Structure formats: structure tokens, C-alpha cells
Structure 1
């Protein structure tokens, strides 16, 4: 079976969240931010909570795709796919898709995971670009 991100899995993969928003920086800059969120010389933006861990970059195809490992030790098999496309205003349309090869979490946990990604990407990362 193929996931929405195109990679092959031996088990079914379920989408448990997806959202797209524009960011003011161009795709190459956003891609760099996702691949190296703690790079020297950039504003910090990946502020993790106590129940979260630093993600690993599993795949990266500049400038349009990045895949992270899970931020949540309680859900180690989840993956976060990022798709980046140029926006008309010179910025980036960034879409995250949260996938799991296992059982989807309950509604409360799903809401928490989605809110955290929204906060990290569309507030914290956005603000790191000065907006």
C-alpha cells in the first residue's frame, strides 16, 4: 500500500490530520527550517513540550518534501509529511499530513496532535520569519 506521501508501507497507513497554510518565506528557506530547525543563525521556533521529542528527518527532497519522525514517544510510528509549494506572493504554501500505520488515537489525542503541529508550524515557525 502507498501512503499519501508516496512511500511504501507493508501495513495500511491512516491520515489523522492535515492542514495547509501559507508562510511568508520562500520554499527553500522553509525547507531549510524543517530540515535543520536548530541551525545556528536562525531564530528558534521548535519549542517542544515535556511529552515531545526532537524529530528526525527521515526523507528530504529540496525544495518540496520533508518527512519527520514522530514528535511523540507515545506514538513512535507516526510520521509527519510536509509538502512545500511556491505561493503567488513569494512565500510558501506548507501542508503537513500526520500519518499513522497503527491505530488512530481517540478524538482528544488527535485534536492535541493537530493543535501542536498548527502551533509549531503556523505560529512559531511563522514568527521566526518575523511575522
Structure 2
């Protein structure tokens, strides 16, 4: 697998909450964060693997890239925060640099803006 991108940031919620947000995005009773932020060419990913509370693997967000995967690693960072790392992988050759940049930005925005803001910060 080739790495399209990877980034980590700290989110203002405990690991069990972040893990649940990733494993069951837009769960009833929570603030929706994933589906409302998707663009026309994006879809809600399927959860392919889930190891509570440490790891979630999503299918692609882009139907035109059906074999891509997004690995999400969750770990405690302080008493109430979580360090979340995404790693976007593809089994094929890397796309052109402009596409790589776009894919990285979108995953980054969904996780570190939309998800973060769903926690109120």
C-alpha cells in the first residue's frame, strides 16, 4: 500500500468518544459532523475494521478511488484529550500531486475541523 497522506492532531474529547465518533459517524443523539460536510463527489465511508478504542479503518470517501483506505489511530493525550492520526492508503500508484493534495486536505478538514467542531471547540 502507498501512503497518500498522514497527519495527527489532538482533539478535545476523550478517546472513547472520538473512537465512537469515527466508528458510528453521525450517530443519532450526537452532533452530525461527517455527512453534512461531504461534497458531491464524496460518500460516507464504510467501517471496514474497528478495534475499540484504538483503531478504525474506513473505506474510501471517493467512489472513483474504490480501493483506498483511511486508517484512524486513536490514543489518549492528556486526561481528557485524544491524539488522532489518519493515514490514507492506496494499493495502486499514487495519484498526481494535485489530487494527493486535494485528498489530504479533505480528510484533514473532515477530521480536524468538522469532527473537532462537533465537540464544541
For the aligned pair, the TM-score class normalised by the smaller chain equals over 0.9
CA-to-aligned-CA distance 1:77-106 (integer Å, 9 cap, x gap)? 000000011001421000000000011110
- Count of paired positions: 119
Displaced runs of 4+ in structure 1, greater than 4 A? none
- How far residue 44 of structure 1 moved from its aligned partner, in angstroms, is 1.1
The reply on whether 1:31 has 2:19 as its aligned counterpart is yes
CA distance in 2, matches of 1:85, 1:93: 5
Please identify which structure carries the higher helix content: 2
TM-score (norm 2): 0.96
Highest CA radius of gyration, 1 or 2? 1
The answer for the alignment partner of 1:21 in structure 2 is: 9
The reply on whether 1:78 has 2:58 as its aligned counterpart is no
- Residue among 85, 107, 117 paired with 1:95: 85
CA-to-aligned-CA distance 1:54-73 (integer Å, 9 cap, x gap)? 10000000000000000001
- Unmatched tracts of structure 1, length 5 or more: 1-12
The answer for the alignment partner of 2:95 in structure 1 is: 105
Bigger relative CO (Cα 8 Å, ≥ 6 apart): 2
CA-to-aligned-CA distance 1:15-62 (integer Å, 9 cap, x gap)? 110000000001100010001112111111112100001100000000
CA distance in 2, matches of 1:116, 1:16: 12
2:48 aligned counterpart, secondary structure: strand
CA distance in 1, matches of 2:16, 2:106: 23
Tell me the C-alpha RMSD between the 2 structures: 0.7
